[in-house]
Amino acid sequence: MTQVSVTGQVVALLRAAMVRPSTPEGDADAQRLLCAGMSIKPPESRRPSIEARTRFIDDRVLAALAAGIRQVVICGAGYDDRALRFRTSGVRFFELDHPATQADKAARLAAIAGPGPVLVQADFSTDDVAAALAHAGHDPTQPTLFICEGLLVYLTRQECDRLLAALAERAAPGSELVVTLAVHADDQDTELVLATANAARRTASTEPWRTILPREQHLAMLTRAGWQLAECDDSPASGIPATSGRGSLLVVAHPAPLR
């Protein structure tokens, strides 16, 4: 991908219309400001999924801040506004995304007053995420809230494994992972589900979905990477009619105890 993320803009524009909480130091208007000048008309079919996962993750961010977590890492951040909306003294937000999207976001952030996130350029298909976080100043000895929202579906299974393992490597005791997983019914063929889903998507040629799995296979991916499941909720499927038993999971996990 050499252009800014269309999907990231769609999510941001839908989110800009929502009523959401903010911290006392935060900017409740941040999402609208980050969307200034975007001309894309987001499809209404995506709204239920975006609203459900936004509320779920907003709640986890506020809970983490209340619990004293002082590092938040957002993978595939796009035009996420949480570093501004939930700005809190002593808390650092790290945002990882493709260089093209990060460059555009940096320009948008420059027009908004107040401190913002640490932008980390990362291509999840090739880059060492653990090393990128270390270089950006992330402290692996302190608890972190890691967020992978609407990201893994765009990565291959190998890329998902590598990313989740890298985050587990940086996760001190007390850390938490919040992740959305695209799933399908157990009796469906995964490759056919992917082909059918992408055929119905306008952005499939540039931003194809690559990982939709049966529920237990997807949860097992977290376990293999060093995470222990703590919470798993169903969410509306994203973007197109939910054929093949397709849906989405909102998952919270913690670092697995060392053996």
Contact 235, 52 (CB under 8 A): yes
**Residue 113 forms part of a structural domain:** yes
How far does Cα 189 stand from its chain's mean position?
26
**Residue 25 forms part of a structural domain:** yes
d(C-alpha 63, C-alpha 57), whole Å: 10
**Residue 147 forms part of a structural domain:** yes
**Residue 1 forms part of a structural domain:** no
Residue 127's domain spans which residues?
6-255
**Residue 40 forms part of a structural domain:** yes
d(C-alpha 251, C-alpha 154), whole Å: 17
Which residues, in sequence order, are CB contacts of 102 under 8 Å at separation 6+?
Answer: 95, 119, 120, 121
How many domains, the chain?
A: 1
Give the pLDDT of residue 3. 77
Give the pLDDT of residue 28. 97
Domain CATH code at residue 193: 3.40.50.150
**Residue 72 forms part of a structural domain:** yes
- pLDDT per position in the chain (259 positions), as tens? 457 889 999 999 999 999 999 999 999 999 999 999 999 999 898 899 999 999 999 999 999 999 999 999 999 999 999 999 999 999 999 999 999 999 999 999 999 988 999 999 999 999 999 999 999 999 999 999 999 999 999 999 999 999 999 999 999 999 999 999 999 999 999 999 999 999 988 889 999 999 999 999 999 999 999 999 999 999 865 555 556 678 999 999 999 987 5
**Residue 21 forms part of a structural domain:** yes
> Among positive and negative, which fits the CA dihedral 217, 222, 224, 229?
negative
Give the pLDDT of residue 93. 98
Which helix (DSSP H) or strand (DSSP E) does residue 123 occupy? none
**Residue 116 forms part of a structural domain:** yes
Q: What is the pTM of this model?
A: 0.95
